[in-house]
Amino acid sequence: MDKVERPLGFIDHEIVDELVHQMRKEQVTFRLGEEVAGAAKESTAEGHARVTVTTKSGKKMTTEMVLVSAGRTGNIESLNLGAVGLQGDDRGRLKVDERFRTSVPWIFAAGDVIGAPGLAATSYEQGRIAACEMFGVPHPGMAPHWPFGIYAVPELSSVGQTEEQLTKDCVPYEIGVARYSESARGQIRGDDAGLLKLIFHRETRKLLGTHCIGSQATELVHIGQAVIALGGGLDYFLSTVFNYPTFAECYKVAALNCLNRLRAVDEVAK
């Protein structure tokens, strides 16, 4: 249950739609656009404990267990930050600059306490950059692209821009899609529902986004991350040979899929 109209709004919508589809196949029920009004512990006629959740719209759901996720709040109350002139916002977050220095020059902050993206991977890097800055060690700063990994069943992972972002910014693009069912590794693994989606700039052919759902998605996404960081694109994947059988082959299949889409448009234009 979530009060938003669709889950994981920051992830490519097609990938999230596939996650919802696969979870529904596993008997997961989604209640979106709903807010919780209350929850009460009750007992069945046989004496078994149950929890009944009531929504503001009047729906009632009874289950054995309820997990409440209300986001994260910075744990700063015991630090007495006011004594040095620092104050967190209503969720205990601190403002920092690109070097993770707070408004007090000798105090740095990194990780969840500074807000988004709030990932373990980015927090590690933020802490390293802050430490380098403290002791005058040269460093390049935070990389502009980092992946999101969502360890659901199946896994989701994403790096770069989504179709929704590019459409909003009026950036011309084309996609390439490879389904695990088209790969030997997917058939060996028994994962016929996973997919890899690549987004390329229509004119420069550079890779703009990599989005994946399925087995090893959080590992597979790093290939796309590297290509984006190095300014590569469609031509790299078309000319590269990947190990067989691997999920990485999906990059080649997705690139060929994109090439066919581009050719189809060019033929119509002629």
Over the stretch 28-47, which tens digit does the pLDDT of each residue have?
Answer: 888 889 999 999 988 877 88
Pick the CATH number of 148-269 from 3.30.43.10, 3.40.50.1820, 3.30.390.30, 3.40.50.300: 3.30.390.30
pLDDT(128) > 90: yes
Distance CA 7, CA 250 (A): 26
pLDDT(220) > 80: yes
Question: Which residue spans within 155-251 are E strands per DSSP?
Answer: 156-160, 173-179, 195-201, 207-213
Q: What share of the chain is helix, strand, coil (3-state, %, to 5)?
A: 35, 20, 45
Distance CA 118, CA 109 (A): 12
Residue 46, both tokens: 């046989």
Taking the domains of the chain in order of start, what are their residue ranges? 13-63, 86-134, 148-269
Q: Is the Cα torsion angle 215, 217, 223, 224 positive or negative in sign?
A: positive
Burial class (CB in 10 A: 0-12, 13-18, 19+), 25: exposed
If you count them, how many residues does the chain have?
270
Rounded to two decimals, what is the model's pTM?
Answer: 0.86
Mean pLDDT over 137-141 rounds to: 89
If you average pLDDT over every residue of the chain, what do you get? 91
User: Which pLDDT does position 165 carry in this prediction?
Assistant: 94
Give per-residue pLDDT as tens, 169-207.
Answer: 999 999 999 999 999 999 999 998 899 999 999 999 999
8 Å CB contact between 207 and 200: yes
Mean pLDDT over 1-16 rounds to: 88
Mean pLDDT over 138-147 rounds to: 88
Closest residue by Cα to residue 223 from 194, 196, 186, 185 = 196
